[in-house]
Structure 1
């Protein structure tokens, strides 16, 4: 699996909006932050466009993304936000230029589609915060601070407290994953995620609890859980119960779906649609240690 190297001062970062539309000020804030760190920012030509819920038409969003994929000097592509729309352009993109001039793709949520595509091509990518969540001051956001630290090659491990639903154990394997709804939507497509002998990370937002149960059972019935080396559950944010209660919390639903397996499981990892959205190096081999005391996640640059 090819892993892009850390960025250097003066490197070019391209910002594109492949899905939902985004306020101009959010992009300008992100540009200001990155330029303050001595990166050169290149904006997609159509990044400020609006077409219904999208940041421009499918054709124009794909054109912007293709430009960044092909750009010989761009070292990272930062997606402006998620929302919906990435799946509408994924089959319009060519990755031959990217393979000649690889770069780090950054984003989460709907951007999971691109993470899955790059995994098929054996390229690593980064699940991390995006401009829609940027603040002007790095110290105001640990997610943004950790992203910039990662870009500079300063982060190689995490340690978080024990959660009572965790299952202890250790493993070392490639990390894959992203948004649970997107992962399930890719089943039986050319972009289906391979979870065999891998550590899977999942997160999600604003789902009915019964739908979360359906998603986890879909993973189970499609064989995505049976051969995991580990499972990391991030934020399951703003989950909704029905008029008749489902009877379990989001985390309890997930725990039940994997109870017959033996791989280590951690809950409440700080990543996803939450304030603490720490960068996760998808495609990298990570060491995963879960004890009754804490959780450790580490990798080599």
Structure 2
């Protein structure tokens, strides 16, 4: 190649790179400008109709009847389709069946709110079949936890609708859980204060302890740790910047908790959040005296090791997760975390 031709080609290449850079900047600016606005659902009232769905694991007849009884004791009517009785291996029916049921509940004007019957596994499989336009046009309270974390992430990222990390319909609806549910989705005030239940006698998993003191403000995002990690790099992930991250887990060994927190850290997520509220990590500690326990770090050691040096407020043992005493936490609502006083405070109503 002669020198004149080389210079000409180099000039064209430089111009192309500049245009690519401009296009990338424009795309980023466009993404910021089209950020989805937050949508709050209407509050639930006594006498409202609750749609029962099974977007994840298989539901037995006993679990269905228990769900109906629990929800009706709260003062609601219940509605479900025959789809909740479907079974496809460990799933509550094939993907299209479960997605159809979810879409139907949002599209049905007679349904005021939605409860997931149980978690398990399977929500992630239906995310591409959900009608997000219908959800955005018909915002409703949706409640659940564990695998339902996948719905919270997907619905919030795609529509801006505030959903609720709270009891599934088969949960224990004791006084603590009912009171926290009512003050979040039925009778909210300008500020709603969550304080932990006194469950320390149930074991070390339930002990509340401070990892790093301080106060944090920001919108609430999170849920089950193992589910949250699976959304990294997908279009269903959410912005973590200046958010309060809440996490819970069940039946994961300390090294697995370590691995998942390390994944979040290496993805840059933990460095972005303003504070971390940890619920109960049920059955996640090493077994003292066992061969596995002797080789393992304790759960508490892992949490200190991975989270203390972030330099942000972190607390363990708040009342949410695979436990009987549960908060109902709104995904996307502004809150304050006060580690010293062991409180999580919603600073705006989560419902209209």
Aligned to 2:147: 110
Out of 158, 180, 184, which is 1:150 matched to? 184
Partners of 1:36 and 1:144 in 2: CA distance: 10
Partners of 1:57 and 1:6 in 2: CA distance: 32
> In structure 2, the residue corresponding to 1:259 is in which secondary structure?
helix
Partners of 1:187 and 1:256 in 2: CA distance: 22
**Deviation per CA, 1:85-123, whole angstroms, max 9, x where unpaired?**
111111111111111110011100000111001221211
Alignment of 1:1-301 (within 5 A): 1-120=38-157, 121-134=159-172, 138=173, 140=174, 142-154=176-188, 156-160=192-196, 163-239=208-284, 241=286, 243=292, 245-291=294-340, 293-301=341-349
Q: Is the 8 A contact 2:113 2:140 kept in 1?
A: yes
Q: Kindly state the Cα deviation for residue 240 of structure 1 after the two structures are TM-superposed.
A: 5.5
Q: Is the 8 A contact 1:44 1:65 kept in 2?
A: no
Q: Is the 8 A contact 1:19 1:84 kept in 2?
A: yes
Aligned to 2:20: none
Normalized per residue, which structure has more helix?
A: 2
Q: Is the 8 A contact 1:203 1:272 kept in 2?
A: yes
Unaligned 5+ runs, structure 1: none
Q: Is the 8 A contact 1:22 1:132 kept in 2?
A: no
**Deviation per CA, 1:178-225, whole angstroms, max 9, x where unpaired?**
000001111111112321110000111111221111001001000010
> In structure 2, the residue corresponding to 1:201 is in which secondary structure?
strand
Q: Kindly state the Cα deviation for residue 132 of structure 1 after the two structures are TM-superposed.
A: 2.3
> In structure 1, the residue corresponding to 2:276 is in which secondary structure?
strand
Partners of 1:294 and 1:36 in 2: CA distance: 30
- The worse-fitting range, judged by mean Cα deviation, of 41-50 and 225-234 is 41-50
Give the TM-score of the pair, scaled to structure 1. 0.91
- The worse-fitting range, judged by mean Cα deviation, of 243-252 and 51-60 is 243-252
Unaligned 5+ runs, structure 2: 1-37, 199-206
Q: Kindly state the Cα deviation for residue 153 of structure 1 after the two structures are TM-superposed.
A: 1.8
What RMSD in Å do the two structures reach over aligned CA positions?
2.1
Q: Kindly state the Cα deviation for residue 76 of structure 1 after the two structures are TM-superposed.
A: 1.4
Partners of 2:312 and 2:324 in 1: CA distance: 28
Larger Rg: 2
Aligned residues: 296
**Deviation per CA, 1:115-155, whole angstroms, max 9, x where unpaired?**
00122121111001112224xxx5x4532453245332257
Partners of 1:217 and 1:110 in 2: CA distance: 21
